[in-house]
Chains A and B, each alone.
Chain A
Amino acid sequence: MTVLFGQLFTGISIGAVLLLIALGLALTFGQMNVINMAHGEFIMAGAYTTYVLQQSITGAGLSLVVALPVAFVVAGAMGVLLEILLIRRLYARPLDTLLVTWGVSLMLQQLARDIFGSPNVQTRAPEILTGNVALPGGLTIANNRLFILALALAAVAALTLALRLTPLGRRIRAVVQNRDLAAVSGIATSRVDRTTFFVGSGLAGLAGVALTLLGPIGPTMGTNLIIDAFLVVVVGGIGQLKGSVIVAFALGVLQATGEYLTTLSVAKVIVFVAIVAFLQWRPQGLFTLRTRSLA
């Protein structure tokens, strides 16, 4: 029983990380149908932001709190820049966008190497996040994992509310559902796109901050994350956040269970096979927006 709960929580905490790295992607992919391969490097940017802030702010707790908004803005600004310079010129060519942003991600990685050096760097976690919470039944849960879970859920909640309640959110949803109609209804779609990109990339920055609690920071950390993030979005279905939320946790639990029963590497293969099998059943992902448009 304890083992079961332990695995379940491991799965949920893997899922929380997946969710954090996929959330921004779900937003940008859903809205613009473009694949931004540099999303992983925005995560990296968030992580390095935390690292830099720790150089000047000595309190690990304070620097983490400061890093969250700063990383959001830094990564968001990078996203907007990318959107303006390249992505919006490529809207009708999603596959080409994928390759172009891959090129951008290569350059950003090298930039990180030039600034911070190739070896990984480490941040200090604040005192309160290093311990464990003991649950009845001998179960312990790491504080940093709990923090990440809370952060992921808070991000989902904030995003959902923003999409529902703010005028900007309504505009975003309108563009997701029918870009042309939104455009002729007087919505400045290109401004909405840019805002979406800012928020989506900013969320990657948040994820980067969270990841500093789990391991070292390095120039290539994004490459490994990006595929997992995309799989979450692809399986979750685009245009709606709830698909990504469910799938992130489901894949997390599957990965944890697979790891427990076999090994890490075999578990990865199991997850891949499960995804292909799932797409047999729902090729468009778990949730899809059903509209009819010839464009």
Chain B
Amino acid sequence: MSDERLDGLSVRDVRVSFDGFTAVDGVSLEVPAGDIRFLIGPNGAGKTTLVDAITGLVRATGSVRFGDEELLGRAVHRISRLGIGRTFQTSSVFEELSVLQNLDIAAGARRGWATLARRRRGIPDEVAAALETIGLAGRAEHLAGTLAHGQKQWLEIGMLLVQDARLLLLDEPVAGMSHEERDATGALLETVSRDRTVVVIEHDMDFLRRFARSVTVLHAGRVLSEGTVAQVQADPRVQEVYLGHPVDAGSAPTGREA
């Protein structure tokens, strides 16, 4: 993937409303190429909805550009083909297919019908590489439904890798993970971000402090604060939003949503 361009994400004045309720209210942010940006904010701040807007799941106004391409107004699968991949708050691997089949499908959106009509023989290179990266090489033949929760999350990230996503949007990837799994996931993010741009929605402040390169705080559909971890933590508005609990006390809400 080193031959691929490294692109940044540019969100300008994006608004999403549902029947009169504005969930995202004019958000603008720049994620430079190769960044690991954490998107935080209280429940209902609009984080997931913003990612939905970027990936074409909900209709939005404003502008979202990845590299030179405008994303808003395109169909979901076309946006995906531009190199944008995402995960969901709930695990969404294909449980009745094997790990290998999951990855192979993720790798295949650009395949022609001639390839699709044939049987998969052996393991494609990019799939083998991804299996190594996410540490599931030993479980390639297992049904994805039999994986542990953490492994499913990694499989999802692996699917984004073989999908050739150059922008990864991860919605609460470490929610429900053990400490060891979180560390492994963080390391995975760092590896992955060498030639990709990564945006992570996360409630886990500990995880954020260790792996974020930059942070955007959303509140009530707007950007409340932006900067490095230290800058954001020092921002009094951020502390206020978290109900007087200073963010660095680690008592901010943690992932609890299923």
Contacts and interface: CB of A to CB of B under 8 A. Distances in A.
Nearest to B48: A292
B19 A294 contact: no
A89 interface: no
B43 to A, nearest CB: 13
B251 interface: no
Contacts of A294: 89-90
A191 interface: no
A183 to B, nearest CB: 15
A55 B245 CA distance: 78
Interface of A: 290, 292, 294
A292 B90 CA distance: 14
A294 B172 CA distance: 15
B18 interface: yes
A5 to B, nearest CB: 39
A292 B18 CA distance: 10
A294 B90 CA distance: 8
A290 B18 CA distance: 9
Interface string B121-140: 00000000000000000000
A165 B89 CA distance: 38
Interface residues of B, number: 4
User: Main secondary structure on chain B at its contact with chain A?
Assistant: loop
Nearest to B58: A292
Contacts of B90: 294
Contacts of A290: 18-19
Interface in B1-41: 18-19
5 contacts: A290-B18, A290-B19, A292-B18, A294-B89, A294-B90
A292 B19 CA distance: 12
Nearest to B19: A290
Contacts of B18: 290, 292
Nearest to B258: A294
A290 to B, nearest CB: 6
Contacts of A292: 18
Interface in B55-73: none
Nearest to B257: A294
A263 to B, nearest CB: 41
Interface string B78-95: 000000000001100000
B220 to A, nearest CB: 17
Nearest to A292: B18
Nearest to B49: A292
Contacts of B89: 294
Which 5 pairs between the two chains have the least Cβ-Cβ distance? A294-B90, A290-B19, A290-B18, A294-B89, A292-B18
A200 B228 CA distance: 59
A13 B133 CA distance: 67
A290 B20 CA distance: 12
Contacts of B19: 290
A182 B19 CA distance: 22
A36 B89 CA distance: 33
A190 to B, nearest CB: 22
A128 B101 CA distance: 70
Nearest to B90: A294
A291 to B, nearest CB: 10
A56 B90 CA distance: 61
A157 B84 CA distance: 51
A180 B40 CA distance: 27
Nearest to A291: B18
A290 B21 CA distance: 12
A288 to B, nearest CB: 11
A166 B19 CA distance: 27
A294 B258 CA distance: 9
Interface in B105-134: none
